[in-house]
Amino acid sequence: MIRNFLILIGLAMTYACTTPNSEENKSESNIDELIGQMTLEEKVHMLHGSGKFNSDGVERLGIPDLKSADGPLGVREEIQNDSWAPAGWTNDFATFFPAGGGLSSTWNLELAEKYGVAIGEEARARDKDVLLAPAVNLIRSPLGGRNFEYFTEDPFLNKKLTVPYVLGLQDQDMAACVKHYAINNQETLRGSIDVQADERTIREMYLPVFEAAVKEGKAYSMMSAYNRFRGEYLSENDYMLNTILRDEWGFKGFVMSDWGAVHSTVESAQYGLDIEMGTELDDYDEWYFSEALIEAVNNGEVSESVIDDKVKNILYVMKEINALDTAQRKEGSINTPEHLQVAYDVAAESIILLKNEGYILPLKADVVNSIAVIGDNAKRKHANQGFGAGVKTKTEVTPYDGLVAKFPSKTINYAQGYAEKYLPNDLNRSWGLPIDYSADPELIKEAVAAAKKSDVAIVFAGSNRLVETEAEDRKGLKLPFAQEELIKAVKAANPNTIVVMVAGAPYDVSGIHATVDALIWSWFNGSRAGDALADVLFGDVNPSGKLPVTFPKKLEDSPAHATNSFPGGPDVVSYEEGILIGYRWFDTKNVEPFYPFGFGLSYTNFAYGEVSVGEVSNGMIKLSLDVTNTGESDGKEIVQVYFSKEGSDVERAAKELKAFTKVDLKAGESKTVTIEVPVQELAYYDVAASDWKVESGEYKVLVGASSRDIREETLVSINE
Ligand code: BGC
């Protein structure tokens, strides 16, 4: 026992007194020594769940259990070890952080890091080791059920946000579990569908976020996805897990399966899975990575060194996050005012102004005395609905609460306006149900009455987490619950009608856009969502979010639907649009979107000066331009830089995002913005050479306020 204690002390001490290389070697040999003392049974028990969210350690050697928690919206409430029922704790209230779409529409990398830090501190306070986040699958279709959790349709924005998030999170002595690796872009048939996508497409579109998470974010763990890729399940996919993740990218952590995503013992063991996690079966001995794995080693199908490697991957991570040395470990904090502030900051910067004709917004607090607050989403909470991970939180400020808190003395006339309604069905669940699109005349009547007696009417429409949910893709773009009818009636009753959409994915908002003068987009935006919205509506915060996804005019305009390849099935889905995902498709095929990628207005205006390109040196393209706030309120602008290569040797999108920056400008202020673009970002994946290739020649540099609002253009010449 004393010897084991000394080994653990040795593991902890290596940091302090050795050089990096010898440090690595020494701690590796300490880990090897520890593994040398384990029985096969002890090792294998570290490789499978022994509860819904934990796997065993080895008590006699001082190795604790590995404890994980969901997930993207905040640290999930504690559930019972062997069932999904709440554990009933009273100290597991957490901050509800804005969902993926909220964070990504800030385009703010500092906020991404703060988000990672805050959620990491909360997870530590709950004594967790692994946070099952961030969820970073690319948004391939507007209908994807988990779009609200994911970030974007663009691989560059995706990786830029993910790296600081992972770094911030892991700095709290936590492991990120980046999910879902990989090419898991739909919920329909997610447990079996075989994704076929060509090599360039996966390298340029779907994998960069994971690659950056590993190489730049040093992510300690990955979650293997439910689906198959090129015939093999992701938990036993040699190409994805061994060739790409470990051999090419140098990943040193562990791969944990999605819950119930394992289908074999020997193949999963050989092809790169480290830990099996599950959902239904509570007899943990019956799992693929339990007794069956011991047997596979005993009968020679799996070598014990393969088991040792897996244990080593886990111990490596445990050492890095100080799980083996609790004295050094960060303790974290939960549900603090600081974390609620992060949730507020992200929400405030995520809100997108989509229309503001006649400058109805921002509302003037000294003029507006009565407000009709209309819509189910004015009072609905989104922390914990639908299938999948939510957050048990003490604080969720709804839009209604936010307005009441901001203006306790104003008259607020509330009307529900529309109700969630589903058609009769025999599905034994509450989420993903067939939607009833019929209007509710009584509720509309009440809403009209409220609108008539108020100075302004604000309709909070959109969806909720029963409509947008894990395990089910949406059926179409149509807004649920006849909201357009409601909005038309309210607008007819009060010309000062503003619509705020609360949702996590694109819908057809054309009818609403045409009806009202002011339209705002918000998300499932966390604990302080309502405060942030009230501040944006009344101009204390100038909206600065921009869309991380394209809104199509109609579903068939979206690439996966234009190519009739979503959701595919019954066995295979083939990504026919290839590299032309999102705006890449719309721009290349000259299809007009409804709202383009990168779009978002402000209460002020920004002027872009001429772009100049300096010498290309040290692999960097340096751009600079002046950006001026020409309006009367302070604001933030997201300057977007797209590149385009004409006459390329290979198919290319008309333009691709390669850099962006968010500039904070006082009214009237002008700043020179300098932006660096690594030449390597211009590379395409050369399939024949199995390598990235930067083409020499001229590239167009397009600088703008959205993918369709290019303000300045120049050329840069690259000699490789
Ligand atoms: C989801 C994962 C989640 C896991 C555990 C699965 O259904 O796909 O994202 O982390 O459940 O809750």
Q: What is the DSSP code string of 328-394? A: GS-----S-HHHHHHHHHHHHHH-EEEEEGGG--SPPTTT--EEEEESGGGT---TT-SSS-----S
Burial annotation 9-43 (CB, 10 A radius, 16+ → b, else e): eebbbbeeeeeeeeeeebbeebbeebbeebeeebb
Cβ partners under 8 Å of residue 520, min gap 6: 351, 352, 353, 354, 361, 498, 499, 500, 501, 533, 536, 537, 543
Note whether 354 and 321 are same-domain residues.
no
What's the domain count of the chain? 3
Calculate mean pLDDT across residues 240-260: 98
Looking at residue 517, which CATH number applies to its domain? Answer: 3.40.50.1700
pLDDT at 11: 47
Q: What is the DSSP letter of 285?
A: G
End residue of a domain, out of 548, 574, 596: 548
Note whether 185 and 247 are same-domain residues.
yes
Do 544 and 604 meet the contact criterion of CB atoms below 8 Å apart?
Answer: no
List C-alpha distances in Å: 174 to 130, 165, 331, 719.
6, 12, 10, 43
Whole-number Å distance, alpha carbon 462 to ligand 1 midpoint, is 25
**pLDDT for 720 beyond 90:** no
**How many residues appear in the chain?**
720
566 domain residue, yes or no: no
Residue nearest to atom 8 of ligand 1 (CA): 258
585 domain residue, yes or no: no
**What is the rounded CA–CA span in Å between residue 101 and residue 664?**
22
**pLDDT for 706 beyond 80:** yes
pLDDT digits (tens, 9 = 90+) for 320-335: 999 998 899 999 999 9
pLDDT at 5: 44
pLDDT at 23: 67
Calculate mean pLDDT across residues 331-343: 98
pLDDT at 145: 97
Q: What range does the domain containing 278 cover?
A: 2-328
Note whether 469 and 505 are same-domain residues.
yes
pLDDT at 26: 63
pLDDT at 712: 97
Note whether 649 and 504 are same-domain residues.
no
Strand, coil or helix: 712: strand
563 domain residue, yes or no: no
Note whether 413 and 514 are same-domain residues.
yes
CA 471 to ligand 1: nearest atom: 7
Whole-number Å distance, alpha carbon 78 to ligand 1 midpoint, is 15
The pair of structure tokens assigned to 575 is 């990504």
List C-alpha distances in Å: 338 to 249, 310, 335, 341.
36, 38, 8, 5
Note whether 182 and 66 are same-domain residues.
yes
CA 132 to ligand 1: nearest atom: 10
End residue of a domain, out of 328, 355, 374: 328
From the list 316, 310, 317, the residue with the least C-alpha distance to 45 is: 310
**What is the rounded CA–CA span in Å between residue 9 and residue 2?**
10
pLDDT digits (tens, 9 = 90+) for 446-466: 999 999 999 999 999 999 999
pLDDT digits (tens, 9 = 90+) for 142-164: 999 999 999 999 999 999 999 99
**pLDDT for 10 beyond 70:** no
Q: At 132, is the pLDDT very low, low, confident or very high (cuts 50, 70, 90)?
A: very high
Note whether 167 and 18 are same-domain residues.
yes
587 domain residue, yes or no: no
535 domain residue, yes or no: yes
Cβ partners under 8 Å of residue 640, min gap 6: 546, 598, 657, 659, 660, 703, 704, 705, 706, 707
**What is the rounded CA–CA span in Å between residue 369 and residue 129?**
50
DSSP string, 147-174: TTTS--S-HHHHHHHHHHHHHHHHTTS-
Note whether 156 and 287 are same-domain residues.
yes
User: Between 124 and 389, whose confidence is greater?
Assistant: 124
Q: At 16, is the pLDDT very low, low, confident or very high (cuts 50, 70, 90)?
A: very low
Q: How far apart are the first and last CA of the chain?
A: 60
Residue nearest to atom 7 of ligand 1 (CA): 259
Note whether 377 and 509 are same-domain residues.
yes
pLDDT at 28: 75
Note whether 117 and 228 are same-domain residues.
yes
Residue nearest to atom 6 of ligand 1 (CA): 259
pLDDT at 281: 72
392 domain residue, yes or no: yes
Task: Write down the catalytic residue from 56, 154, 173, 258.
Answer: 258
From the list 598, 610, 602, the residue with the least C-alpha distance to 630 is: 602
Note whether 170 and 283 are same-domain residues.
yes
**What is the rounded CA–CA span in Å between residue 132 and residue 506?**
25
Instruction: Give the binding-site residues of ligand 1, using a 6 Å CB cut-off.
Output: 70-71, 132, 179, 258-259, 388-389
End residue of a domain, out of 328, 361, 378: 328
CA 387 to ligand 1: nearest atom: 7
**pLDDT for 698 beyond 90:** yes
In 425-529, which ranges are E strands? 456-462, 497-502, 518-522
pLDDT at 561: 98
Q: What is the mean pLDDT of the chain?
A: 95
pLDDT digits (tens, 9 = 90+) for 603-655: 999 999 999 998 899 999 999 999 999 999 999 999 999 999 989 999 999 99
Looking at residue 175, which CATH number applies to its domain? Answer: 3.20.20.300
From the list 393, 540, 382, 534, the residue with the least C-alpha distance to 462 is: 382
pLDDT at 245: 98
In 98-236, which ranges are E strands? 130-132, 175-181, 194-196, 221-224, 228-229, 232-233
Whole-number Å distance, alpha carbon 422 to ligand 1 midpoint, is 26
Q: Please report, as a single letter, which amino acid is at residue 13.
A: M
pLDDT at 3: 43
Ligand 1 pocket test target in 181, 470, 472 with most atoms within 8 Å of CB: 470
Calculate mean pLDDT across residues 404-415: 96
pLDDT at 21: 63
CA 53 to ligand 1: nearest atom: 5
pLDDT digits (tens, 9 = 90+) for 369-403: 999 999 999 999 999 988 988 999 999 999 999 99
Note whether 426 and 516 are same-domain residues.
yes
Residue nearest to atom 4 of ligand 1 (CA): 259
From the list 330, 383, 340, 351, the residue with the least C-alpha distance to 114 is: 340
Strand, coil or helix: 264: coil
302 domain residue, yes or no: yes
Give catalytic status of residue 258 as yes or no: yes
The pair of structure tokens assigned to 161 is 């946000």
Calculate mean pLDDT across residues 264-276: 98
- Backbone φ and ψ for 113, nearest 5 degrees, come out as -70, -45
589 domain residue, yes or no: no
Calculate mean pLDDT across residues 238-250: 98
From the list 597, 511, 51, the residue with the least C-alpha distance to 277 is: 51
Do 145 and 567 meet the contact criterion of CB atoms below 8 Å apart?
Answer: no
Ligand 1 pocket test target in 259, 279, 473 with most atoms within 8 Å of CB: 259
Q: At 22, is the pLDDT very low, low, confident or very high (cuts 50, 70, 90)?
A: low
Do 363 and 456 meet the contact criterion of CB atoms below 8 Å apart?
Answer: yes
From the list 284, 218, 204, 291, the residue with the least C-alpha distance to 249 is: 218
